[in-house]
Each structure stands twice: as structure tokens, then as C-alpha cells.
Chains A and B, each alone.
Chain A
């Protein structure tokens, strides 16, 4: 279960707070997956008591105004930090993985593809095993339900977190001659990005996920008892 509470002493009206929360939730907690299971109790709540306000005029109310936009973005970044901590936990996760899907007609479709990769048990076990099994990634893209995908426009890369050269695995539907030693080097890192370029649009989406670890199995094998 995900539970998240953020409290602030910012002065903000209820409609503006609602707007900011919805925006932030979509880009933070609704963009993570550990195991693909949705709980009965997931809740993300925010309370704002206005204690930081010196005067009544400082209340954030105008959802087009600069102060609202900054508050909304601060909240989104803050919530994203918390959401990422959940993925870094992952009941013993050893990898923190960003799934970045680009070149898609709509954000929703990009999210759908990212979500399918992020919840593939075989992708997640390969990540744990540090196996550059890009075939599993591609397979997940293919059954994501996004019908506009054109196989020979799809490219897949591993982007290492240390800023070193990315590793191309598949380019425009053709497999690269993958340097397995370099692939292992990247997969040994705690953090990496799997970038998928679909080449059929201009939208993109990110999801954060982790690997499946032995600890995950052990914890969930007898949680109730």
C-alpha cells in the first residue's frame, strides 16, 4: 500500500490545492510501480494550514498565477522525491530504474507503454540478474496495447546514471551488436534508465520502477501470517 501525507504552512485555497495535488499525483505517485499491484488503501493527502502567511493577501488562489504555478511545481518535485523513495525501497530492490518512453502520439499512450515495461516480471527479474535482455523490453512494448506502434521505428537504449555513453540495444527495429561487457557495466549500477523511442509522435512519459529481489519474494511469501 502507498500512503503519503504532505503538510505545508503555505496559505492556499481549497480549489487551488486540489488542482496542485491532482497535477502532482499524476506525475509522482501515479508514475511508480514496484510490483504492478494496486492496493485497497492507496491515499495521498495534503494539508495546508496557512501558518506561514503574514497577511490575507498572500493566499494562493489564482491557478494561472506565478505563485500557484511555483507551488504546484514545488509540490510535484517534492512528491516525486517521496515516490522515488518507495521505489528505492521496493522490499529489498537492488535497482532504481527510470523507464522513459519517447516519440509517442499522446502522453497516455507513452504512459501505457512505460507502465507495461515497468510491470513486466521478466524485465524486472532480468534487471535483478543484470542481464541485458532487451528482447523482454521489446516484447512488453509490443503487448502494451498501443496500436500505432510501428516495429521498424522502435529503438531501445540503456542510459547509465553516471553520464557515460548510452548503450544502444535496438535501433529502428534492428538489433545492435551489443557489447555485453558494457551492458553488464551499466546493469551493475544501482540506477539506470531504459529509454524507448517509438518514433511515431512527440509526447513522452516516465515511470520509475525497480527489480524483483529475493527479499521481495521472501517478504511476500508469508506476509499475512
Chain B
């Protein structure tokens, strides 16, 4: 995807970064997108995480939104190990089958990390279509094998794999120090979005 970044947006894409310890990441093409571009991102923590999220307040919440909220509530925001994200299909307004597919995505990653119900799911793309779940399950296994710890290339793959109509991948990282404990920690962030953007998440 990155080869198509317009000249006037290239300066917004980082060429290096400082990434947090203990997260393996990657992005792959699994077959949701028809053009061969990356469409599945995986972030896996070596250690159990505390987690929090806010979600769309749209009445028609997509299956991955409902499932991720349920998992966070069930786990009380603890012991989360992974996030899996697909692009190309939003798995929104997809009824019971949509919920089953979102759960299959989550369960497959949780199985690979050996921690039940520990994976949040996100999807983005066209509304009202079912996920090609077999392709996604295969992609999850490929991504889990491929995921690497803390590399800039890995994080770029993640940022690219969640793109839809985005003109460029959105990735930031940084290191910070706390005033009392003196602890230095790192943050990495990816985002996607270009259109249908007026969030009011809670």
C-alpha cells in the first residue's frame, strides 16, 4: 500500500520509531481485499494486558464492536492478550452469522496465545457483507507465525493492513518518562480513517 502514498502526504509517514516492549505485530494479505493488499493485522502481547476501549454510539453497532465490548466487560479490562483487525469488510449489519464470525476471529487468536477470551476484534470496510471467515482464519495463523517483536517494519505492516480508502498509513510511536517514579515507557499507535469520520465514542 505504501508505494501509492501521494507525494504531499509522504512526510506524514514515519520511517523509524521506538516501540513498546513485549508486543509482536504484523500485517498480511489474507484475501478479504481483492487487490492483494494487506488486509489483516495482528498485535499480540507477551504478557497479559490491562485494556480499555470506547466504541461507536451508532445504534447499528457492528459485530466486532459488540463482541469486543462483551470481552472487555467479561474480563473487567484485564488479561487481554491480542487485537486482530481486518480491513475490506466491516462485518456490520451482518446478524447472527456476523457475531459468529467475529467470535471465530477472536477465538482463533486466543487459541494461538493459549489464553481463552483474550482477543479484541476490529473490522472495517464495506457494510452488510459477511466476512470470508476461512480466509481470515488462515490469515490469522500466517500472521501469528510471522509476527515480530517491536520492529518498525512490523508496525508499518499493521498500519497498512487496516487501511481502506486511506491515502496513507497512520503510525506514531514515542517514549515518555513519568515524573514521580521516573519510569520510562513507550507507546505505539495505529489508526485508520479517511471517510465516514465523525466519531462520538463512549
Contacts and interface: CB of A to CB of B under 8 A. Distances in A.
Interface string B50-75: 11111111101110110010000000
B124 A7 contact: no
B201 interface: yes
B122 A14 contact: no
Q: Which of A33, A50, A216, A220 has the most CB of B within 10 A?
A: A50
Nearest to A22: B54
Nearest to A19: B52
Given A14-B78, A34-B197, A42-B56, A5 B165 contact: no
A33 B195 CA distance: 9
Contact of B47 (A29, A33, A50): A50
Interface string B188-201: 11111111111111
A6 interface: yes
Q: Which of A12, A47, A58 has the most CB of B within 10 A?
A: A47
Nearest to A74: B176
Contacts of B172: 78, 81-82, 85
Interface in A1-42: 1-14, 17-18, 20-22, 25, 29-30, 32-42
Interface residues of B, number: 76
Contact of A47 (B57, B61, B83, B93): B83
Interface in A82-97: 82-83, 85-92
A38 B200 CA distance: 7
A53 interface: yes
B142 to A, nearest CB: 20
B18 to A, nearest CB: 11
A38 B56 contact: yes
Interface of A: 1-14, 17-18, 20-22, 25, 29-30, 32-54, 57-58, 60, 65-67, 70-71, 74-75, 78-79, 81-83, 85-92, 119, 216, 219-220, 223-224
Interface of B: 9, 12, 20-23, 43, 45-58, 60-62, 64-65, 68, 76-78, 80, 83, 85, 90, 92-93, 120, 122-127, 162, 164-168, 170, 172, 174, 176, 178-181, 183-201
